[in-house]
Structure 1
Amino acid sequence: MNAPVRLPATGRRVLVSGASRGLGRAVAQAFAANGDRVAVHYGSREDEARLTLDSLAGTGHVLVGGDLSDPAGAAAIAARAADGLGGLDVLINNAAVNVPHPLAETPYEQWAELWQRHVSVNLLATANLSHLAARRMIDAASGGRIVNIGSRGAFRGEPDHPAYGATKAAVHALGQSLAVSLAPYGIGVASVAPGFFDTERVAHRLSGAEGDAIRAQSPFGRVASAEEIAAAVLWLASPMAEWASGAVLDLNGASHLRT
């Protein structure tokens, strides 16, 4: 059995995938405000990622671009993040694809292409980045944390986004498998399962005709902020959250209750 590894509370080296805007930006900001150094990953939105980078408190943050859907691209991203930060202590798997594709309305060719795209980014990129980060943590004998951004849709179903719901369910299962296998190395792995939360990507829906119905999903009569989700991610990556390894934390304002 390996000796216990104690993760520092601040000054950690954190890679956040898909951090150009929305939840990824809020997560990067939360870690930076905590005194950690952050690698801000982006796929195609470099200008927005630079805005994220410029918004971060503290110094020593780095910008890392690349295509996570390609295994070689994921390896390059992890290497650049680790080189820029001097190692990796925390990985936040946030990057995801979520394109509507209801079965009855989606041609087969488009259906097949979108499933491949969702699996490549939402599941395989998460698995690949987790391997790449965890191997560095193991080799450094430093312990660490991996937090996956899952979804309420993994439990309640996503009729218009079935590949999204299915891949997020797989991400939850992946996180639980890794939690067991990586615990002997002092690496905790957990996931969050957010419900609807407010970002620029969904602002038009909240301000439009369906906004009231979306807010009514929760008995609080509102949706979450990205900052609320980011606060939970920050805690799951903290030294105090080791016993939460393997958990899937519901963050949906009681809009969906699992049994």
Structure 2
Amino acid sequence: MRRVLVTGASRGIGRAVAMRFAESGDRVAVHYGSDAEGAARTQRMLAGDGHVVVSGDLGDPDAVQQVVDATVRELGGVDVLVNNAAVAPSAGTRHAVAEVEYAQWQQIWHQMLDVNLLGAVNLTYAVARHLIDRGATGSIVNIGSRGAFKGEPDFPAYGASKAALHAFGQSMAVALAPHGITVASVAPGFVGTERQADKLAGADGAAVRAQSPFGRVGTPEEVAAAVLYLASAEAAWASGAVLDLNGASYLRT
């Protein structure tokens, strides 16, 4: 039985990841930033017992440490960290260069980098130090994005934050290997979460599905399966990997 901290687990990919670990017999700390009701719903959906809910603004370094401290206190430790929480592309975070003023450009860049990159950076530090101080092994899995490679012209801060997260994960894979801590990343393409339901049902849905030669989008459960594997002992030799999970919609060379 492992103790697993999943950030941004009030819905979507984070909820699916939390459910998959719970189904495997692990105890999960369900983190949320603002959606307390969604996090409570996730907790109720988890198999088994002993799961907890923790909250905190991951853009605040002090709150990050408090999230890890609360998880350690409630679960008795942390063995696996899944860095899933992110400020995602939306109408409110669109920042195409030709469309926004400089002040808005700066605000969105800071918002995305503070959570998507620095939040994960600080969580990784706190959990890694917890493991090292315990003399324990563990796993860290980052949820990156296809956009880190394909480009995000309307959301460049999002693409940059995910590219940096991939690179950070690879650096940590090397740094933490001597301590028996693995670090890997998943880079999903378009995933059919609740947040994307309207887009998939609307005029753009067919074009989005056509991005993949399979003619569909990914599911949160497919991402969760990849995360569960990368956090497993069997995947230790995959430490440092960035796993493309996009249905052949974008192929790196």
TM-score by length of 1: 0.95
Q: Describe the superposition over 1:19-39 as per-residue Cα deviations: whole angstroms up to 9, x where unpaired.
A: 000100000000000000000
Give the match for residue 93 of structure 1: 83
Residue type of the alignment partner of 1:173: A
Q: Distance in 1 between matches of 2:166 and 2:103?
A: 28
* Structure-2 residue corresponding to 1:81: 71
> Matches of residues 1-259 of structure 1 in structure 2 within 5 Å?
11-98=1-88, 99-259=93-253
What SS does the aligned partner of 1:232 have? helix
Cα deviation 1:105-125 (Å, max 9, x = unaligned): 111111100000001000000
Secondary structure at 2:225's aligned position in 1? helix
1:132-160 deviation line (CA, Å, top 9, x unaligned): 00111111111000000000000010011
Matched residue type, 1:79: D
Whole-angstrom CA distance in 2 between matches of 1:144 and 1:180: 14
Q: Which letter does structure 2 place at the counterpart of 1:172? A: H
Q: How many residues align?
A: 249
Distance in 1 of aligned mates of 2:206 and 2:55: 37
Following the alignment from structure 2 to structure 1, what is the Cα–Cα distance between the partners of residues 70 and 223? 27
Distance of 1:101 and 1:23 partners within structure 2:
24
Partner-residue secondary structure (3-state), 2:185: strand
TM-score normalised according to structure 2 size: 0.98
Please tell me the residue identity of whatever aligns with 2:11: R
Q: Aligned equivalents of 1:128 and 1:102: distance in 2?
A: 28
| Partner amino acid, structure 2, of 1:56 | L
Which 4+ stretches in 1 moved above 6 angstroms?
A: none
State how far apart, in whole Å, the 2-side matches of 1:122 and 1:136 are.
21
- Structure 2: tracts of 5 or more residues without a match: none
Amino acid at match of 2:98: A
Q: Distance in 2 between matches of 1:150 and 1:82?
A: 25
Q: Deviations over 1:21-68 (max 9, x none)?
A: 010000000000000000000000000100000000001101001111
CA deviation map 1:165-222 (0-9, x unaligned): 0000000000000000000010000000000010111111100000000000000000
Shift of 1:73: 0.4
Partner of 1:3: none
